[in-house]
Amino acid sequence: MTTLNAKKVNFEIERNIAILNIQTLNELKIKHSANIKVKSDSGEIMCEVLSTDTLIEPGFIGLKEKSIEDLKITENTKISVFIRRRPQSLEYVKNKRGGSVWKEGEIRSIVNDICSGQYTELEISMFTLAQYYLGLNMDEIANLTTFMAEYGTTLDFEEPVYDKHSIGGIPGNKVSLIIVPTVAAAGLLIPKTSSRAITSPSGTADTMEVLCDVNFSADEILEIAPKVRGMLVWGGTLDLSPLDEIVIHQIEQPLGIDPHSQMLASIFSKKVSTGVNHMVLDIPTGEGTKMPTKDDAINYAHEATELGRRLGISIEAALSYGEQPLGKAVGPALEAREALEVINGNGPTSVFEKSAELSGILFEMAGLAQPGQGAHLAADFILKGKTKAKMEEIIGVQGGNATVNPEDIVIGDKVATVVAPKDGYIVKLSNSNVKKIAKAAGAPRHKEAGVYLHKKIGDFCKKDDKLLTIYSNSEGRLTEALNISMNLQPFILEGMIIKRISSGTKI
Amino acid sequence: MTTLNAKKVNFEIERNIAILNIQTLNELKIKHSANIKVKSDSGEIMCEVLSTDTLIEPGFIGLKEKSIEDLKITENTKISVFIRRRPQSLEYVKNKRGGSVWKEGEIRSIVNDICSGQYTELEISMFTLAQYYLGLNMDEIANLTTFMAEYGTTLDFEEPVYDKHSIGGIPGNKVSLIIVPTVAAAGLLIPKTSSRAITSPSGTADTMEVLCDVNFSADEILEIAPKVRGMLVWGGTLDLSPLDEIVIHQIEQPLGIDPHSQMLASIFSKKVSTGVNHMVLDIPTGEGTKMPTKDDAINYAHEATELGRRLGISIEAALSYGEQPLGKAVGPALEAREALEVINGNGPTSVFEKSAELSGILFEMAGLAQPGQGAHLAADFILKGKTKAKMEEIIGVQGGNATVNPEDIVIGDKVATVVAPKDGYIVKLSNSNVKKIAKAAGAPRHKEAGVYLHKKIGDFCKKDDKLLTIYSNSEGRLTEALNISMNLQPFILEGMIIKRISSGTKI
């Protein structure tokens, strides 16, 4: 152990680094690239060592701002530096190789060691790739989920909590903004945490943020939600599942992987953390979704309900049609506007029906409707203005304009429209291409940006009918989005030639 | 692509880093921690980005000295920076998960991409851990070996090349210093490349370096070896298997793993690179070795000979007794001295016999002796001074003192001896404990440091007879080595109490 003076360096990088003078390294008998444990009175982090002979004096340790915050120190605080030993729990990770099943206590050690910063990035990759290459059984997934939740913030409501979750994958899915007020209007508690967009043009939190604040602390949620019965907040600031954040940012995103067991544990750990007891699980299915075949979706549904059973969460899974975007609006502001239209009784039928169906399942789970009758009841809530009244209340307590009208919502003033090249029925409308156009237009970062779809699959259009309109707040992004649209052709019209191949053309 | 001015920063770290101003990052539309490709006229590397708002100006790129060397540039050279895309071959790595067998072309792409710096450290871990968790079949290992060799330096001798390889694991194994001159004395070409110690107190290259230089270029070896018939050089500078260096340093050592397939490919790629045609493979077997049971060793032998067959290398594997150190000397100088003693006809019988046996197998493979007669012939070479004459020639061409005597070799002047606590037969002598003592004394870094064993298994000793002597060139290290010896008790005498357990003692 050595004591050194903290010094802030102006570096930004995801991993923790400690910059030490070469002389300090010699004293510690370690080399650059080694990992050290850095400890203050109130925190401990692991750092990879960079050595220097000029930038940091002997006796000092250079740390990035985030590390100084994590250690809860200021510049020149004396902190201790230790040579790091490989955590014991890494042996459990390694044993996966011989086919070992991770025991409860082993998983707990692994989760705690990763979350408390005992693992290097490579060691975290060893843990994540064990799951990727070898998979986990259901016991292991349940334990992983439990300990992931245990390490983070937990919200303890003293009554049953309802939730709706979608595995995502299709653009335009704004139903949470309708389901939450509908379910809350019936008196059920639905304090929904949601995510921001990762690869989509708008996450539920991004869409809701158009209408009001979505950043609330655990204490605020525990105070507000039981009174209003529903909230729609961003889960990101709550630290519900610290391991999830680490694994996603340090390993899964850089490698472009999403191991199945980790994905389930990721979703469910946040449900456990927020005390969810009853959940409807939306599984968009079909070409262009995360579940291309019905079998995939059914397998997933069985797994999720089984995992829920082990964790004490009753789950009803609903396979939904996912081969085109949901509704007509894609992008935060456009989606928020469409959600309000549905709540006002004049939005697209598909969004209305899906919202009523999923809300209805929760009504049935709660015993508020007979089996098969929930959707009618939920539709009634929407049509009779109960959903609208509750949504206004939620927007109000979340600091927004409670009486906002759909047309008040600002959308991009740079506009371009794509029209049909010929008469015909729409036979395809690609999720991924619509996503790309909306993102090129600026979504989700620029909330006003997005795509409005004038036609959906099965619609007939005449030559020069509007197919889609792109909204942006930048001419450059609008042009880019339009170019992408021209290249990708998100709409396929019956009889349209998709690609011409003549002799000599490379297929 | 952007063009930036190179600037050297005084940092040392294993991975490549590029320090960019935050403004440059915004222009490139990338974030810190991203990976970029940095290209000069004569080189290309991949770097992880650190961002700063003070240390590097916009328009500049901070690189460590090694990166500047690798790019073959100087400060202020204009270099290009590209956003990096994940290499296509990473998809092949990922496909291992679904049980895919890596095809020849796929392995070639993976090896080439890793060696040319296209992979991030995490991606290299993904490749290494695919092997660790899932293993490779023999076709894959053979292809991996071939392409690893292909990417590195190759030595092309225009005649058959002989070699001896030991899988290692037991201390005191200095037989290569006797086998190489014996085999070369018979006229066979044996240009042996060997490694430095990784975890042992002395690698063959460390031991040979006590007597002469071991750093030779490929051209020097190609010129000298055919004339002298034998050399003993360090393989490290030759760049025989670049992938091996990358994987060992960046992944295997930090994680403490040694995947079987990678280990085989590591050994054999260097054999392919040096043009080996006939090889005797020494597999020390038994408790305290890498092959604890005879079955392990036999399986390994079959695998290695099969891999050799596919690569065009004929192999004879020899299982040898490995439950105690070989000979009496452990540590570079002590081992070099003992090797010379054997060559002079007065070293320990075990070292003499093992050297003669392994040399004899090569004689038989070359047709110089009838099956079963090789060891006699080799023993004759040693006893009649032919080995000695050739060793003097080799030491001479490798720049050492050709007529060095064993007693000329300097060993540590700080000495401590451990004696027997009672009368008895030696029933155990622990490889790993002897290693720890020798390393604590300073080996292999301090060549004069090591351990001399006065007794071996089966010997009788009286109370206060010398068991081992520790040599060091530092009082501190001597004391530490002595303490370790007292704690670990490398010798077990028959009837000795190993551990006392009384009620209340934690076992």
Topology annotation, domain A414-493? Aldehyde Oxidoreductase; domain 3 (3.90.1170)
A292-329 pLDDT tens trace: 999 999 999 999 999 999 999 999 999 999 999 999 99
CATH 3.40.1030.10 domain locations along chain B: 162-235+259-397
- Asked if B122 has any chain A CB less than 8 Å from its own CB, the reply is yes
- Which member of A10, A12, A86 has the closest CB to residue B256? A86
- Asked if B255 has any chain A CB less than 8 Å from its own CB, the reply is yes
- Structure confidence at residue B500 (pLDDT): 61
- Sheet containing A450-453: order of strands: A329-330, A450-453, A466-472, A414-419
Task: Using the predicted structure, report yes or no on whether residue B503 has a pLDDT greater than 70.
Answer: no
Measure the CA–CA gap between A482 and A470, rounded to whole angstroms: 7
A122–B50 CB contact, under 8 Å: no
Residues of A in contact with B11 (CB under 8 A): 19, 50-52, 55
- Asked if B97 has any chain A CB less than 8 Å from its own CB, the reply is yes
- Structure confidence at residue B504 (pLDDT): 52
Residue of chain B whose Cα is closest to the Cα of A255 = B123
Categorize the per-residue pLDDT at A506 as very low, low, confident or very high, splitting at 50, 70 and 90: very low
Instruction: Calculate mean pLDDT across residues B480-488.
Output: 94
- Structure confidence at residue A98 (pLDDT): 87
Task: Using the predicted structure, report yes or no on whether residue A262 has a pLDDT greater than 80.
Answer: yes
- Structure confidence at residue B502 (pLDDT): 61
B118-143 pLDDT tens trace: 899 999 999 999 999 999 999 999 99
Residue of chain B whose Cα is closest to the Cα of A48 = B13
- Structure confidence at residue B505 (pLDDT): 45
Instruction: Calculate mean pLDDT across residues A339-362.
Output: 96
| Structure tokens belonging to residue B59 | 């328009």
Task: Using the predicted structure, report yes or no on whether residue A194 has a pLDDT greater than 60.
Answer: yes
- Structure confidence at residue B85 (pLDDT): 86
Best mutation target, B48, B122, B251, to test chain A (most A CBs within 10 A): B122
Instruction: Calculate mean pLDDT across residues A383-411.
Output: 97
Put residue B33 in one of left, alpha, beta given phi > 0 → left and psi -120 to 50 → alpha: left
A7-40 pLDDT tens trace: 999 888 888 899 999 999 888 888 888 889 999 9
- Asked if B126 has any chain A CB less than 8 Å from its own CB, the reply is yes
Residue of chain A whose Cα is closest to the Cα of B49 = A13
Residues of A in contact with B257 (CB under 8 A): 94
Residues of B in contact with A90 (CB under 8 A): 255-256
Instruction: Calculate mean pLDDT across residues B154-159.
Output: 95
- Which member of A10, A48, A55 has the closest CB to residue B10? A55
Structural class in CATH, domain A162-238+257-397? alpha beta
B400-424 pLDDT tens trace: 999 999 999 999 999 999 999 989 9
- Which member of B50, B54, B97 has the closest CB to residue A133? B97
- Which member of B12, B33, B132 has the closest CB to residue A14? B33
Measure the CA–CA gap between B358 and B368, rounded to whole angstroms: 14
Instruction: Calculate mean pLDDT across residues B20-49.
Output: 88
Least confident of A37-51, B348-362, B398-412: A37-51
CATH 2.40.40.20 domain locations along chain A: 2-83
B249-274 pLDDT tens trace: 899 988 999 899 999 999 999 999 99
- Structure confidence at residue A439 (pLDDT): 96
Q: What is the mean pLDDT of chain A?
A: 93
Q: Which of residues A71 and A198 earns the better pLDDT score?
A: A71
> Would you give the distance in Å from CA B370 to the centre of its chain?
33
A254–B53 CB contact, under 8 Å: no
Measure the CA–CA gap between A358 and A282, rounded to whole angstroms: 8
Measure the CA–CA gap between B239 and A392, rounded to whole angstroms: 70
A419-457 pLDDT tens trace: 999 899 999 999 999 999 999 999 999 999 999 999 999
Categorize the per-residue pLDDT at A505 as very low, low, confident or very high, splitting at 50, 70 and 90: very low
Distance (Å) from the alpha carbon of A477 to chain B's nearest alpha carbon: 14
A443: closest CA among A177, A174, A199, A167?
A199
- Structure confidence at residue A32 (pLDDT): 83
Categorize the per-residue pLDDT at B440 as very low, low, confident or very high, splitting at 50, 70 and 90: very high
> What is the ipTM, given to two decimal places?
0.85
Active site residue B258: yes
- Structure confidence at residue A217 (pLDDT): 96
Residue of chain B whose Cα is closest to the Cα of A119 = B255
- Asked if B29 has any chain A CB less than 8 Å from its own CB, the reply is no
CATH 3.20.20.70 is held by the domain B162-235+259-397 = no
- Structure confidence at residue A507 (pLDDT): 42
Categorize the per-residue pLDDT at B14 as very low, low, confident or very high, splitting at 50, 70 and 90: confident
Measure the CA–CA gap between B133 and B112, rounded to whole angstroms: 22
The two counts, helices (H) then strands (E), for chain A are 19, 18
Categorize the per-residue pLDDT at A54 as very low, low, confident or very high, splitting at 50, 70 and 90: confident
Render the burial of B38-63: b for 16+ CB within 10 Å, e for the rest.
bebeebbbbbbbbbbeebbeebbbbb
CATH number of A2-83: 2.40.40.20
CATH 3.90.1170.30 domain locations along chain A: 414-493
Distance (Å) from the alpha carbon of B67 to chain A's nearest alpha carbon: 15
**Active-site entry in A41, A156, A258, A464:** A258
Sequence-separated (6 or more) residues with CB below 8 Å from residue A346 = none
Residue with tokens 């469409």: A338
Instruction: Calculate mean pLDDT across residues A254-267.
Output: 93
Residue B10: C-alpha distances to residues A20, B2, B35, B61, B260 (Å): 11, 24, 20, 13, 38
Q: Which of residues A2 and A150 earns the better pLDDT score?
A: A150
B122–A10 CB contact, under 8 Å: no
Task: Using the predicted structure, report yes or no on whether residue B426 has a pLDDT greater than 80.
Answer: yes
| Structure tokens belonging to residue B472 | 């060091």
- Asked if A32 has any chain B CB less than 8 Å from its own CB, the reply is yes
Task: Using the predicted structure, report yes or no on whether residue A498 has a pLDDT greater than 80.
Answer: no
CA-based R_g, chain A, Å: 26
| Structure tokens belonging to residue B190 | 């044996």
A354-390 pLDDT tens trace: 999 999 999 999 999 999 999 999 999 999 999 999 9
Measure the CA–CA gap between B359 and B229, rounded to whole angstroms: 14
B201: closest CA among B333, B58, B380, B319?
B333
Task: Using the predicted structure, report yes or no on whether residue A48 has a pLDDT greater than 60.
Answer: yes
CATH 3.40.1030.10 domain locations along chain A: 162-238+257-397
Residues of A in contact with B17 (CB under 8 A): 50
